[in-house]
Chains A and B, each alone.
Chain A
């Protein structure tokens, strides 16, 4: 599993770099439809989805992956306010910078300070979210404790 994850990460990183998506100006050339439009990002996304489609669909129909691990796909189905709000906030940050988590990670070896600033802010944002979730879970646990002493902690999802 660790070897697979390593090679998948390596392949993913090379793909992101080859596609040019680590270049925020290229991403903004796609998002900024008010100027001349660069459809490269759309082509990257459509190609990646098409290539991933068959293995994803096969994986989704199995109970165990080829290496024997359980299929750990999200099982949430409902469209929640949290999903919409989170995606909307994500899009604003993406549109401001032309950067998102994958390319940001794959570009770290450029040692370009703005790239690292974005990455660090993103990790701070993720950490803030985790701390807030843990605080919310603790609060729920405290209020729920007298009623349901045996209740388990609402751990943050991973």
Chain B
């Protein structure tokens, strides 16, 4: 049966973080007409660079903003998960699958998850249901194999 991991559950920071993520996505959409999807922004910039085109500047400044947040955070607090351990083949293969999969489906947890669901997009709802399902099955399988 599903039991809650109460000590691990962090409702306040989850809600506060969610508010900031939602506000960031809302501001970029209403203010700039763009989707704050990380795989779309990174992949779009990559696509332009590979075609020897100059990537759209807003993609670069958005990425710069996220990196700035990362650096600012790291100067005062440890980044959550900064010392996580995982077998390197898992990270290598997992990274490849996440990169290819996100581009193939035109979105990831931010693009389909946050922006797509807020737009009530049927494609995004399908994508989220699919990656949650395969994500849960894989995480359970890896947990059983490694423990």
Binding site for B on A (CB under 8 A): 1-26, 28-29, 31-41, 43-60, 64-67, 69-74, 76-79, 82-102, 104-112, 114-115, 117-131, 134, 155-158
Docked CA distance A109–B83 (Å): 12
Determine if A13 and B8 form an interchain contact, defined as CB atoms under 8 angstroms apart.
no
Bound together, the chains give a CA A5 to CA B30 distance in angstroms of: 12
Q: List 21 A-B contacts (CB under 8 A).
A: A4-B58, A8-B28, A9-B63, A9-B64, A11-B23, A12-B62, A13-B73, A37-B2, A43-B15, A47-B22, A54-B26, A79-B126, A85-B105, A96-B93, A102-B38, A107-B81, A114-B84, A114-B85, A114-B91, A125-B95, A125-B97
| CB within 8 Å for A92 and B134 given contacts A14-B73, A23-B80, A122-B96 | yes
Residue in A4, A65, A86 with the greatest tally of chain B CB atoms within 10 Å: A86
A43 touches B14 (CB 8 A): yes
**A126-B99 in contact given A55-B29, A83-B105 (Cβ < 8 Å):** yes
The contact size tier of chain B is: 35 or more
Check A8 against B62 for contact (C-beta < 8 Å): yes
Q: A-contacting residues of B (Cβ < 8 Å)?
A: 2-5, 8-11, 13-36, 38-39, 42-44, 46-48, 50-51, 56-59, 61-74, 78-86, 88, 90-106, 108-110, 112-115, 117-123, 126-128, 130-144
Closest to A76 in B: B123
Task: Give which listed residue, A3, A21, A33, A100, contacts B108 with CB less than 8 A.
Answer: A100
Residues of chain A lying within 8 A (CB to CB) of residue B95 = 93, 97, 99, 117-122, 124-125
Pair B33/A106 contact, Cβ less than 8 Å: no
Q: B18's closest neighbor in chain A, by CB? A: A47
Kindly provide the distance from the CB of B138 to the nearest chain A CB, expressed in whole angstroms. Answer: 3
Bound complex: CA of A1 vs CA of B65, how far in Å? Answer: 13
* CB-contact partner of A101 in B82, B90, B98, B127, under 8 A: B98
Nearest 10 Cβ contacts at the A-B interface: A9-B65, A125-B99, A19-B17, A121-B95, A13-B69, A47-B18, A51-B22, A86-B105, A95-B138, A86-B104
- Contact call B21/A56, Cβ cutoff below 8 A: no
Q: Are B38 and A29 in contact (CB under 8 A)?
A: no
Contacts of A38 in B (CB 8 A): 4-5, 8-9
The answer to whether A49 and B118 touch across the interface, beta carbons within 8 angstroms, is yes
A73 vs B47: C-alpha distance when bound (angstroms): 18
